[in-house]
A and B are shown apart, each in its own frame.
Chain A
Amino acid sequence: DIQMTQSPSSVSASVGDRVTITCRASQGIISWLAWYQQKPGKAPNLLIYAASSLQSGVPSRFRGSGSGTDFTLTISSLQPEDFATYYCQQTYGFPITFGQGTRLEIK
């Protein structure tokens, strides 16, 4: 199975800050990576697919990059509604696997 490791596990930031979350795959997955945002009590919401493609309706302050084994999600100029948990997911092969999540908290 492909293991997905996110860092950090949690991060504190302020409104207006720039935040970067990293996701590393245990083997190369080309660009088969997605990012999700999840708020408490809600289903995950797709932000980025194919490592860097912005899902329709997602604000442009969300940016994904990377290929192979190393990927990043950058949120520029944090907004109050961005405080949530973020997950990466490899979509390269079965079984589909997710990172353990990164909790983004208000400083």
Chain B
Amino acid sequence: EVQLVQSGAEVKKPGATVKISCKVSGYTFIDYYMHWVQQAPGKGLEWMGLVDPEDGETIYVEKFQGRVTITADTSTDTTYMELSDLRSEDTAVYYCARPSSSHNRDFDYWGQGTLVTVSS
């Protein structure tokens, strides 16, 4: 059974950095990119970027460029999303999501979500 299990909720102060993990099981980690999606409270879904666990290559959306780093650790089958210089508007639930096949971009498996609250 494919599972994506994310780390727990975080509370951070403005200007801080948060790092969220997403540990996978039930499939071969390096066979699928891993994507990250942001959802602010009461808002829609916003794609942030992806990592190819096989070689660490990343693609980020311009909005988060320079503040987001997505990495993959093949020794633990875990991906990480680090967001720096946090602002109040970064308060959101962050999801990791696996595409339905190796080069598709629709997501058939999602993590449970991690709430990040940015507050002074």
B59 nearest in chain A by CB position: A94
Number of chain A residues close to chain B: CB under 8 A: 22
Residues of B within 8 A of A87 (CB): 44-45
Question: Separation in Å of the B33 CB from the closest CB of chain A?
Answer: 11
Main secondary structure of the interface of A (DSSP, over half): loop
C-alpha gap A36/B97 in the complex (Å): 13
Query: What are 14 A-B residue pairs whose CB atoms fall within 8 Å in the complex?
Result: A34-B106, A43-B95, A43-B112, A44-B45, A44-B95, A44-B107, A44-B110, A49-B100, A89-B106, A98-B44, A98-B46, A98-B47, A99-B44, A100-B44
C-alpha gap A98/B28 in the complex (Å): 27
Q: Does A55 contact B (CB under 8 A)?
A: yes
Q: Does A14 contact B (CB under 8 A)?
A: no
Residues of B within 8 A of A91 (CB): 104-106
Q: Does A46 contact B (CB under 8 A)?
A: yes
C-alpha gap A36/B44 in the complex (Å): 12
Question: Separation in Å of the A41 CB from the closest CB of chain B?
Answer: 8
Q: If the complex has contacts A95-B62, A96-B35, A99-B44, are A46 and B105 also in contact, measured as CB distance less than 8 A? A: no
B110 nearest in chain A by CB position: A43
A43, A46, A94: the one contacting B106 at CB < 8 Å is A46
Q: If the complex has contacts A49-B100, A91-B104, A91-B105, are A97 and B110 also in contact, measured as CB distance less than 8 A? A: no
